[in-house]
Structure formats: C-alpha cells, structure tokens
Amino acid sequence: MKKKYKFLDNINFPSDIKSISQSDLKILANEVRQEMIEVVSETGGHLGAGLGVVELTVALHYIFNTPNDKLIWDVGHQTYPHKILTGRKDRIRTLRKAGGLSGFTKRSESEYDPFGAAHSSTSISSALGIAVANKLSNKSDNIIAVIGDGAMSAGMAYEAMNNAGATKTKIIVILNDNDMSIAKPVGAMRTYLAKILSGKLYFSFRETVKLIISAFSKRFSKKAGKAEDFLRSVVTGGTLFSSMGFYYIGPIDGHDMNDLVSVLKNAKEINYDGPIMIHIKTEKGKGYKYAEKSLDKYHGVTKFNINTGVQEKSKSNTPSYTKVFANTLVKHAEKDSKIIGVTAAMPSGTGMDIFGEKFPLRMFDVGIAEQHAVTFAAGLATEGYKPYAAIYSTFLQRAYDQVVHDVAIQSLPVRFAIDRAGLVGADGPTHAGSFDITYLSTLPNFVVMAASDESELVKMINTSVDINDKPSAFRYPRGNGVGLELPGINEKLELGKGRIIKEGKKIALISFGARLNECLIACESLKKKGVNITLVDARFVKPLDENLIWQLATDHEAIITIEEGSIGGFGSHVGHFLNDKNLLDNNLKYRSMILPDRFIEHDKPDLMYKYAGLDSNNIEIKILDTLNSKIIIKKTN
C-alpha cells in the first residue's frame, strides 16, 4: 500500500514547493527520502548518491525557477529525488523498466532535464555552453550544475572550469563533496562565513573596494588583491577554485536546509559576471542506515528488503564474467609479478577490487579518468610491465585518442579487459557496449577477441598474458556465464584462429562473442526442421581467421555473421575479406547480423536483444531467409 505524505502528496512540480514554508522544507525532504527508498527497494537502481542530495534537490527547486532556470546534474544517477519533484512522481516506480523512466537525466523525458547525462564530468561544460547561449540570446535565466567530488577527478571538469573562469558568464557550480577530503570538516563558523561571503553586502563591498583602489597605483592594487585572495583562501579553503577564476563559497552542510536555502538564495540574487562555486558536504546514503554503513554496496542495488537491507541475489549458480576475469587474473599475477591492474573508479564493477585485495601495491584506481588510465597503462608497458586496463566498453570510448595515439601507434602491450560488452539492461543505451568492436578493430596491429562463454574468457586472458609486442583486448558481457567448467591458466588460444562448433551444409553461421548460445539454440531448432548449419565461434576479429573463412566460403552457399556490436565490426571485416578475395563472385551469399542503427532503450537484456533482432528466433529467420526456405517462423522484433 502506497504511503501517505503530508506534503509530497500535493507536490507535482517544483512550483508547488514554493507554497511550502521554509520551516517545512525539511519535512518534505524526509518524505522524498522515504519515497525514494521505497521506490528503489522495488525497482533496484542507484541508491546512495540520491539519498545524499535530497535536501539539496528540494532547496534548488525551492529557490530557483526551474525549468526556466536550468538545473544540470552530473552523471544523473543521483536524480531520483529530482524526478519525484518534477512531474514524474506518478511514474517513478517504472524507473529502469521497459517503457519507464530512465535511471539518468534524459532530455526527451522531461523539460526539467536540460541535458542528458550518464557518463560523468560533463555538467560544467554543458552548463557553460547553455549559459553562453543564454547570454547571446539576452536571457537572464540561472544555470546551475551539480557535480560530485568523484566526477571532479576527471580532466574534463578542469578543462571546463578553466574555460569558465576565463569568461564573464555567470554559472553556479555546486560541488557535492560526499567522500574525498577536499576541505576540513564543516563547522558553524565556516557555514556562517559562507553565508556572509555569498551575500549582497559582501559582493557590494568587494566591488566598491575594487573601484576605490583602481584610482590608486597598480602596486597598491596588487597588494589589495593579494590580501583579499589570501583572506578568502584562509576563510573558505577555496584556493584551487579561486585560482581558476571561480568565486568560491563553502564548505557548507549539505543536509542543513536553512543554510542551503540561504546560500542558494544569495547566489541566485547576486549580480556577478563569472562562475560561482558552492562547496557542500553531504553523506552518501543519508537517512537509510544500511546505505550509510556500507556505501559501496548501496551505490547501485538490486531490489532489497527495506527493513533488513538485504538485496536480492542472482538466481544463477554460475559465476559472473567479471569474477571469472578477476579470479583468473589473480592466478596469473601470483606467478607473474609484472602483471598490474588498472581501473578508472570502477574497482568493484570490473572485479579489480578482488585483484586489489590480493595485490594492493599492484592495483591502481586512477579515478574517473579513462584517458589518464590508458596512457598510465601505456607508461607501465614501456618499462616491461603487463598492465590490464579493466574498463567498461562504454567508458573506454572516453579514451579513444589515447588508445590510438599512446598505445596502438607505439605497439605497447596494454591489455584491455572490456567489461559490459553488448547490451546491458536497465542502464540503457548510455551504458551499452555497442561500439568497441568497431573502434578497436580498425586499429593496426591490435589483437581483438570476444568471449563466447566463461571458459573462452579464461583462455583469452591466458593468451593475453603472452602478447608482449602489441596491444590486445578481450570483451565479455555483463552477467553470469552459461555454466561451463573453467580451464586452467595454461590453456591458451592460437592467435587469429576460430573454432568450428558444428558442421553442417549449405550455410555457415559465424558468431563473434556471446551470441553463440543463441546460435546453438537456433541450430538445434533448425535441425528438427531438417536444416543443418555449420556453426563457428570466431574468437578473433583481429587477426581475422582468413583461412577458416576461405574454407567456409568455398564449402557453403552462404555465410552469416553475428555480433553484439555496431556496423563496422566483425561482419564488416569478414565482408571486406570476402570481397577483396573475389569470393562473392561465385554466387556466395553473405549476410551480417549486427546491432541496429538506433539506440535501444533500457529493458531486460534478453528483450533488448530480441528488439535488436539478435535472439535465437531472429537468427533462425535470417538463416531461412538467406536459404530462401519456405519454412515460416514468426518474426519477433
């Protein structure tokens, strides 16, 4: 039964919040927090970060006139309270479900989401762009960006701040500090001074002093400026931000509603041409004791019991691909001291936490800094070490120039462990690993592998250990394996060699990656209909097994490739080879099955693959269509 709330039941849009007295905002915040806990316990999703910004969310919508004033959330995984207050309360239990609300901000979902985000550290850049656009259009709307301290570890945030500090354009950046020790603990005096420094009186006095000293010598002016900067750095601790051109305020308690409202009100009303940084201290998981005690386990959660905090466990008895990778790498590292682990703020997501527990001096979490992670790994490789850069496919996109310039051109043996390959479910298109096959396989002298199951993943890791003259990558999906026994660490693959799974007639189906099991289901179904298929696990897109493809082309009437990636990947390489060797001139039919040319919205992974046309039923249809068979199968996408 849905809870009854004193204030939240009557809040549908931010304009409704303004009818509440400031003294009652804390009650509203508590109701929003409770509703969010209830919702995420049913839907799963990101919990800790959202709980930490409840008061901030209420205060922002109370003070600013959204959606005219633009509120931009970095990453967007902390925006569930924002969604509850911006016309989406009645749909909040559809969060991350098919046809429901996104787990991140999304422009097409609401006018209160002025910029879509799911990768970090984009908020200041986009906010500055919107602010400059408004300035050019003579608009006076406020532009506010909320960025976490974790996202501040990415270089893009500093690039944006550097640019913002050089402009005469007002934006308000709120640094949500919930982990890193950027400043000393919040105290009453610091909060009081933050209010003073953000107030009209201080700004007016500051500008008046500037006008007075401008009439005197440059020498006096310099000294006055230095004195003010020194005073502000002592008072607020904002030396770094001040040096980048930001007017720094804080830190303040991000859970004290009165302080938040006062400082935000001052920042809104001040006529200041330039960027303002408001530093708030918050607690991740605030208000839910289980999340407060175990921040890592409650950052992203499955459905859970509110009373006990116990999360639903996977029903699969097979290990996840991530754990298979981590445990296999640990076994190799026990024998090879040159193996190093590198990740970009995703130690638990990539399994590098397991590696780090065993080898704390050989695992490096560099923060949300994929560009740095790749070039850091390249530096390690120049000195004879064997770095494994474990990065999600979607995040590795952020470091493509480094992959090309710092790794590939120099043929440095960096090993890329690419987790979350293919479609990933509830996180949707922003986190899907759709493009890595294409963007890596275009690079010269690069080994690119894709695991069809957990056993193959182990063999690919084993193989990568000995690739010492060039970069290599192996990709694997989110979720659990298919239940195969794992080989030992000495079982390796011959570079560029695929394997034949089943031998049939007329048509050869070549799978690259984790669609192999769906191919097997399709083959078994077709066998009952009298159609026997040759099924191949390609294993490699680079180097391509040209001998095997030549053999398949000469022995069959048709070849079909299938992969969990976009155009330009495995199928494109096979098609180029067939065409280049004139193998298509002999009435050979060639078809490729790839992800469609559109972004696929969040859903359960198996349903996403169905919509993408890459499930077993669609594989059957493609095979029969290629053979011009009269057997009819109902199309499913």
C-beta separation of 267 from 195 below 8 A: no
Active site residue 232: no
Q: How many Cα atoms within 13 Å fall on the side-chain side of residue 14?
A: 23
Active site residue 91: no
**Mean pLDDT, range 388-411, rounded to an integer:** 97
Phi, psi of 615 (to 5 degrees): -95, 175
Phi, psi of 450 (to 5 degrees): -140, 130
**Prediction pTM value:** 0.87
Q: What is the pLDDT of residues 453-497, one digit of tens each?
A: 999 999 999 999 999 999 999 999 999 999 999 999 999 999 999
**Which range, of 22-36, 207-221, 429-443, 565-579, averages the lowest pLDDT?**
207-221
Q: Among 299, 602, 303, which Cα is nearest to 425's?
A: 602
Residue 242, pLDDT score: 82
Over its C-alpha atoms, the chain yields an Rg (Å, rounded) of: 28
SS3 53: coil
Mean per-residue pLDDT of the chain: 90
- Active-site pick, 70, 170, 284, 542: 284
Residue 479, pLDDT score: 93
More confident residue, 294 or 155: 155
Alpha carbons 517 and 503: distance in angstroms, whole number = 16
Alpha carbons 358 and 179: distance in angstroms, whole number = 24
**Which range, of 68-77, 131-140, 202-211, averages the lowest pLDDT?**
202-211
What the chain holds in terms of domains, given with CATH numbers, is 11-296 (3.40.50.970), 321-475 (3.40.50.970), 499-626 (3.40.50.920)
- Active-site pick, 398, 415, 478, 515: 398
Q: What is the pLDDT of residues 174-198, one digit of tens each?
A: 999 886 433 444 566 556 556 656 6
Q: What is the pLDDT of residues 110-155, one digit of tens each?
A: 999 999 988 889 999 999 999 999 999 999 999 999 998 888 888 8
Active site residue 398: yes
Residue 111, pLDDT score: 97
- Active-site pick, 31, 55, 109, 370: 370
**Mean pLDDT, range 296-313, rounded to an integer:** 82
Q: What is the pLDDT of residues 321-342, one digit of tens each?
A: 999 999 999 999 999 999 999 9
C-beta separation of 45 from 301 below 8 A: yes
pLDDT tier, 236 (very low <50, low <70, confident <90, very high otherwise)? very low
pLDDT tier, 220 (very low <50, low <70, confident <90, very high otherwise)? very low
Alpha carbons 407 and 378: distance in angstroms, whole number = 6
Residue 193, pLDDT score: 54
